[in-house]
Amino acid sequence: MKKMTITKRISVTMRGFSILKQYCPGLAQGKAMYELINSIQPFVSIWFTAQIVNEISSQRRLKTILLYVLGAVLINFICALLKSIINHVCNEKESQMWSWFGKVFSDKQISLDFVDLENAAIQHQRQEAEENLYMFGNGLAQLFWGISALVRTLVYIVISLVMTVSLFISTSGNRFIDHPIWIGIILVCIAVGGLSKSKATISENDVFMEYCKNTVWFNRVFMFFGKELYMNPEKAKDVRIYSQNTVAEKMLDKLISHERDNQSDITKMALYPAIAQIIIGLANAVCYLFVAIKALFGAFGVGSIVQYVAVLSRLGEGLQELMYILSDNEVYCTHLQNLFEYLDLPNHMYQGSLTVEKRDDNEYYVEFRDVSFKYPNTDTYVLMHVNLKFKVGEKLAVVGMNGSGKTTFIKLMCRLYDPTEGEILLNGVNIKKYDYNEYMSIFSVVFQDFRLFSFSLGQNVSASASYDREKVIECLKKAGFAERLNSLPNDLDTFLYKDIDAEGVEISGGEAQKLALARALYKNTPFIILDEPTAALDPISEYEVYSKFNEIAGTKTSIYISHRLASCRFCDKIAVFHEGEIIQIGIHEELLADRRGKYYELWNAQAQYYTT
Ligand code: ADP
């Protein structure tokens, strides 16, 4: 694995902290503050204990001893109080931390160009960055977990160094013991302990990183089986009927036995730390021996032995932990780097700034001017030289066989994609020049594969947390949902599905389609587009939607995609798509009069189907 430079690691770490600050404000600071108090506290006890032992072994003044005891108790009490307050505040934030990490991804995902949502390479990149969420919190959790260690270490090192100074300053009268070379020897011993720990940690991490690389695939497969195959009720039907779980279990068995084969590295992970521990033990022994000998020669009292032994071991631990932190930092910087690469994906779609003109005369028109289009990363044109102009208020029907490009035509009009060639104009201006969100706001679309969400019925229809109840009810009635609405337990506040509310209701495909229609009506935009709006409806509901379509669409420009040509007869204009081209355009009677035309062929094919 390629090593990151120190400057890169610093900038990655700093950016990680700024994301933590943005999504979980106060959490990192709270953790740091807690640890600062927590790690200073033992030194306070060490110092007071040393003073008390020194006093007992020398002058034995009761008042002084009591003062030390009182000081120690008071400071420990204040520390404990502060710690529990901070802990209380931080705990709640920490329990929400994982959800916020998820939001880092959802925020990026929603800001991506729509075209990138279908780009396999980009989604793979997201998946890779997201995959280490549970083990490492995408590096963000590791960064957070590391705060305690970092603060503790810095405190240990600084305070230990300060408290060790007097060890070297105090003299015993013995030239050998007081020789400054001992400063060097003791520091070398501590450094050797720290370095051996670092060596062990690096080798541990190398094995671990290799293991992580292997587990990415393992996690992906495991998550697919666990979450998708077994938990998703839609898939559960097929899993049960076709016993797909046996295939899944075989694959998992294979993966698990492969994982077991990789466990030989564990020996390596265990051996190095054990050797490091022996070296650290020897180094500590030299330090403690020096302190004991210096005390024997009378450089300081018995109490100070306690202090020096404790601070030297804290100094050693601090250095060892610092080495560990540096090496751990390398691991989470790699994860953070994956995350940042995904977060830094740019938006390529041109973002215009024009506002969509609000015209009193309602004279809007949309024009496709020689538009051709192929989906990103594909070679085949799915739309070719499409030319079409229609005015606001017109009702356009788009018909054609499956795969002829009807839905793609709509996606281009709503600017989910930009044309590969040609241009689309709104009132003579290329739609790219309009402010993207404002342009999107003039369309209501019921896509064939529309989705409703596990919010309340009212929130689903209004697409908003607070809404106009009367208006929602009116739209539901228009969409043919009135009867079902009356049977719902909590009226508009009834939740759809059971993800959020256990009392939520399940709805049929036809009912869902009516709700999607009501949602499009509630948005009340100049354009309403229905892509196969009746596919899941029963014949009676279908008839209702057809017969009320003029009322539903009102004065809006409506575009209506349907396989059922009978339902398109009422439209002002019918465009016949075939293999990505508009091959006929006109009103029903005109198109039907052309006996060699596609429309005539489709019409007769359907008529025949219905009669047989
Ligand atoms: P229709 O709505 O007429 O059934 P579509 O516009 O959905 O047709 O599809 C037209 C062609 O574009 C089809 O060949 C389809 O396979 C292809 N297509 C649709 N969506 C995508 C996509 N996201 N990526 C690549 N090809 C696509």
pLDDT digits (tens, 9 = 90+) for 220-279: 666 666 666 666 666 777 777 777 777 767 767 776 666 555 555 666 667 777 888 888
pLDDT at 448 over 60: yes
pLDDT at 104: 92
pLDDT at 124: 82
Distance 115 CA to ligand 1 centre (A): 13
The torsion of the CA quartet 25, 31, 37, 43, rounded to 10 degrees, works out to -150
- Which is nearest to 374 in space by CA: 415, 339, 417, 427? 417
Distance 375 CA to ligand 1 centre (A): 8
Lowest mean pLDDT among 79-88, 161-170, 243-252, 584-593: 243-252
pLDDT at 214: 60
Note the pTM of the prediction, 2 decimals.
0.70
Please tell me if the CB atom of residue 580 comes closer than 6 angstroms to any atom of ligand 1: no
Confidence of residue 30 (pLDDT cuts 50, 70, 90): very high
The H or E element containing residue 200 is helix 181-223
Mean pLDDT along residues 11-21: 94
Please tell me if the CB atom of residue 211 comes closer than 6 angstroms to any atom of ligand 1: no
pLDDT at 548: 65
In this structure, which long-range contacts are made by residues 499-506, counting pairs with CB atoms below 8 Å and at least 24 apart in sequence? 499/454, 500/454, 500/455, 501/454, 504/454
Please tell me if the CB atom of residue 118 comes closer than 6 angstroms to any atom of ligand 1: yes
Testing ligand 1's pocket by substitution, the residue of 113, 116, 382 carrying the most ligand atoms inside 8 A of its CB is 382
Distance 374 CA to ligand 1 centre (A): 9
pLDDT: is 536 or 86 the higher one? 86
Distance 411 CA to ligand 1 centre (A): 10
Burial state string for 418-454 with b = 16 or more CB within 10 A and e = fewer than 16: bbbebebebeeebbbebebeebeebbbbbbeebebee
pLDDT: is 392 or 290 the higher one? 290
Distance 378 CA to ligand 1 centre (A): 11
Q: What is the 3-state secondary structure (H, E, C) of 126-137?
A: HHHHHHCHHHHH
pLDDT at 213: 61
The H or E element containing residue 574 is strand 573-578
Calpha distance 387→379 (Å, rounded): 21
Calpha distance 481→489 (Å, rounded): 15
pLDDT at 465 over 90: no
pLDDT at 255: 66
Quote the mean pLDDT of the chain: 84
Distance 402 CA to ligand 1 centre (A): 9
Please tell me if the CB atom of residue 562 comes closer than 6 angstroms to any atom of ligand 1: no
Distance 531 CA to ligand 1 centre (A): 13
Closest C-alpha residue for ligand 1 atom 8: 403
Distance 578 CA to ligand 1 centre (A): 12
Mean pLDDT along residues 158-183: 86
pLDDT at 295 over 80: yes
Atom of ligand 1 nearest to the CA of 409: 6
Calpha distance 354→377 (Å, rounded): 30
Closest C-alpha residue for ligand 1 atom 27: 375
pLDDT digits (tens, 9 = 90+) for 338-390: 899 999 999 888 888 888 776 666 567 889 999 999 998 889 999 999 999 98
Lowest mean pLDDT among 166-170, 270-274, 426-430, 584-588: 270-274
pLDDT at 298: 84
Please tell me if the CB atom of residue 402 comes closer than 6 angstroms to any atom of ligand 1: yes
pLDDT at 166: 85
pLDDT at 513: 84
Testing ligand 1's pocket by substitution, the residue of 118, 374, 407, 412 carrying the most ligand atoms inside 8 A of its CB is 407
pLDDT at 312 over 60: yes
pLDDT at 210: 65
pLDDT at 612: 43
Atom of ligand 1 nearest to the CA of 378: 25
pLDDT digits (tens, 9 = 90+) for 137-147: 678 888 898 89
Please tell me if the CB atom of residue 41 comes closer than 6 angstroms to any atom of ligand 1: no
Euclidean distance between the first and the last CA atom of the chain, given in angstroms as a whole number? 67
Contact between 276 and 197 under an 8 Å Cβ cutoff? The reply is: yes
- Token output for 438: 């404002």
Closest C-alpha residue for ligand 1 atom 5: 405
Distance 230 CA to ligand 1 centre (A): 30
pLDDT at 273: 77
Distance 585 CA to ligand 1 centre (A): 21
Distance 403 CA to ligand 1 centre (A): 6
For residue 557, the 8-state DSSP code is E
pLDDT at 211: 62
Closest C-alpha residue for ligand 1 atom 26: 375
Atom of ligand 1 nearest to the CA of 118: 23
pLDDT: is 228 or 318 the higher one? 318
Please tell me if the CB atom of residue 406 comes closer than 6 angstroms to any atom of ligand 1: yes
CA distances from 157 to 143, 415, 607 (A): 21, 59, 87
pLDDT at 123 over 60: yes
